[in-house]
Structure 1
Amino acid sequence: MLPPFIIEQIRRLEEEERRQRDVNRPRLELPLDYDRPRPKVEREEEKPERGVIILDIA
């Protein structure tokens, strides 16, 4: 078993490597249209009730 300070150093090195990979990774920035009004989202309470009715004609 490794001493705790060695484990902590390994963890820090891995985090730093991951950070460097993320910084160097190519990324695409999408233009966002903030001026466009957002469509109204219908909430669950505002939706009309729907259901199934089963009639047994016997």
Structure 2
Amino acid sequence: MLPPFIIEQIRRREEAQRRNSDAKQPRLELPVDAYRPVNEPDGADEDRNRGVIIVDL
């Protein structure tokens, strides 16, 4: 079993390597609207709040 400080050091090195490899990968920046349009309800809420009807024959 390795001492905890060695395990922590190995973990930090692996994270640094992962960050470096991620930084080298090309990225695509997507334009995001500063203000998102407010979605109007399309009736889906009405369907969810209808309730349950039990018919006993």
Which ranges of structure 1 fall in alignment gaps of 5 or more residues? Answer: none
The list of structure 1 runs, each at least 4 consecutive aligned residues, that deviate by more than 6 angstroms after superposition, is none
Q: Please, what TM-score do these two structures have when normalized by structure 2?
A: 0.60
Identity %: 60
Give the length in aligned residue pairs: 53
Which is richer in helix?
A: 2
Which ranges of structure 2 fall in alignment gaps of 5 or more residues? Answer: none
- Looking at structure 2, the residues matched to 29 and 50 of structure 1 have their Cα atoms a distance apart, in angstroms, of 42
Structure 1 residue 41, shift from structure 2 partner: 6.1
Q: Which moved more, 1:31-40 or 1:9-18?
A: 31-40
Structure 1 residue 17, shift from structure 2 partner: 0.4
RMSD over aligned Cα, in angstroms? 2.5
- 1:10 aligns to 2:15 (yes or no): no
